[in-house]
Structure formats: structure tokens, C-alpha cells
Amino acid sequence: MAARQDLAAVIPAAGYSRRMGAFKPLLPFGSVTVIEQAISTVRQAGIETIRVVIGWQADCLIPVLERSGVSWVMNERFAEGMYTSIQAGVHNLPAGVAAFFLLPGDMPLVRSATLARLISEWDARPGGILCPCHEGRRGHPPLVSGTYIPEIVAETPPGGLRTLLARHAQDAHDIEVADSGVLMDLDTPDEYQESLRRGSSG
């Protein structure tokens, strides 16, 4: 897929992974790790400007990211929640980025074709926030206009990303996709095992 210099991706991977009981980004997923799969998904969609946001166990994650050739951003405030990782990631994006994907680092089942679909929708109607939906349920990664970056970095609202979406509900558009992976993150061992089953079945 053709590279898109005007688009970027932020991949938060800074959390504690408490419910999993193991560090989620480095869990095996097929022949790679969970974080490597997320990076690959973004790259296959033609996105080369990627910022992986790190915090907890950063020293373990940095060597993997460096081998992958992807830029990382340290979030010193990761204990305050994922929105601080979003802030750190977008603050580090190049000036002039038209829009960015927000793909949590524990969502390895999202398909690159889903990102391509959102890019196509963006090209037809640039602006606002495009939210992938599966069977009517919103998932990740949204494609967020770069015009929101100053607002994102300016404050940490109590509701995080949900507050941002609610504030700009009139500018958010749901894009139905045939990709259940947009709804599945890996919080627990059972969810991880289910993701492995889905991943191995194609």
C-alpha cells in the first residue's frame, strides 16, 4: 500500500498489564509479539510515522522497538492512565500531520484492511474523527484529525478519550467494518487465549 506522509499512528503501550499478570506488549502472538503485530498492522496500511508510547517496563520494550525500526516516546505519567500516553504520543508527532490513528498496543487482531477503509473514508471526507464500528459497536483505532492535537495536549479530562469524543460528537462518524478485532483488546489471560485462537484461524 502506498505510504502516507500526511497520516500517522500513536500506539499506547505504557500500562501496567495488571489484569493480564504478564507484560502484554511482549506476549507472543504467532511468530512475533503483540506489539510487533500492532506495528505491522499500521505499516501494512501505509503508515510510516508511528509513535509507540512506553512507560512500564520500558527497558524491556525499547530493544524490541529499536529492532522494529519504530520511534518510541517515554510517558513519565503513565501511572495516571492511557490518556496521558495519548498526550505524549500526539505531542511528539511531526507538525502538519493531517490525522492520526490511535491503536492501543494490546489489539493485535485489528486488520490492516480496516485502517485502509478508514483512510479511504478520510480521503473522501477529511476532517473530524472516524470511528470503526463492528455490528454497531465502536472500537479502535479511530482516525483523529490533527486539528484536535492542541486540545488533546492542553488538558487531561476525567473521562479521557470518551470526553474528547463526546465533546466533538457532531464531528465523529461511525464507519461499519467487518472486523471484530476492532473490539478485542487483551486485558485478561482468557482474552489473550481467545486472540491466539482467532489469530491462528486467520
Q: Are strands 143-145 and 129-134 parallel, antiparallel or unpaired?
A: antiparallel
Q: Which amino acid is at 156?
A: T
Q: What is the mean pLDDT of residues 5-27?
A: 92
202 has pLDDT over 60: no
- The burial of 87, by beta-carbon neighbours within 10 Å (0-12 exposed, 13-18 middle, 19 or more buried), is given as buried
- pLDDT recorded at residue 48: 94
**pLDDT digits over 38-80, tens only?**
999 999 999 999 999 999 999 999 999 999 999 999 999 999 9
CA distances from 83 to 132, 153, 158 (A): 19, 10, 9
Residue of 28 and 18 predicted with greater confidence: 28
Q: Within a 13 Å sphere around the CA of 51, how many CA atoms are in the beta-carbon half?
A: 22
Q: What is the mean pLDDT of residues 173-179?
A: 96
DSSP per-residue codes, 116-179: HHHHHHHHHS-SSEEEEEETTEE-S--EEEGGGHHHHHH---TTTHHHHHHHTGGGEEEEE-S-
Residue of 17 and 94 predicted with greater confidence: 94
Residue 155 makes CB contacts below 8 A (sequence gap 6+) with none
- pLDDT recorded at residue 2: 77
**pLDDT digits over 81-125, tens only?**
899 999 999 999 999 999 999 999 999 999 999 999 999 999 999
Q: What is the mean pLDDT of residues 22-28?
A: 93
Which CATH code is given to the segment(s) 4-197?
3.90.550.10
Within 10 angstroms of residue 44's Cβ, the number of other Cβ atoms is 14
**pLDDT digits over 114-164, tens only?**
999 999 999 999 999 999 999 999 999 999 999 999 999 998 888 888 888
195 has pLDDT over 60: yes
Q: What is the pTM of this model?
A: 0.94
- pLDDT recorded at residue 201: 63
DSSP per-residue codes, 20-82: TTS-GGGSEETTEEHHHHHHHHHHHTTEEEEEEEEBTBHHHHHHHHHHHT-EEEE-TTGGG-H
37 has pLDDT over 80: yes
Within 10 angstroms of residue 20's Cβ, the number of other Cβ atoms is 17
Residue of 76 and 166 predicted with greater confidence: 76
Q: Are strands 99-102 and 4-13 parallel, antiparallel or unpaired?
A: parallel
- Segments making up each domain of the chain, as ranges: 4-197
Q: Within a 13 Å sphere around the CA of 7, how many CA atoms are in the beta-carbon half?
A: 23
147, 98 contact by CB (below 8 A): no
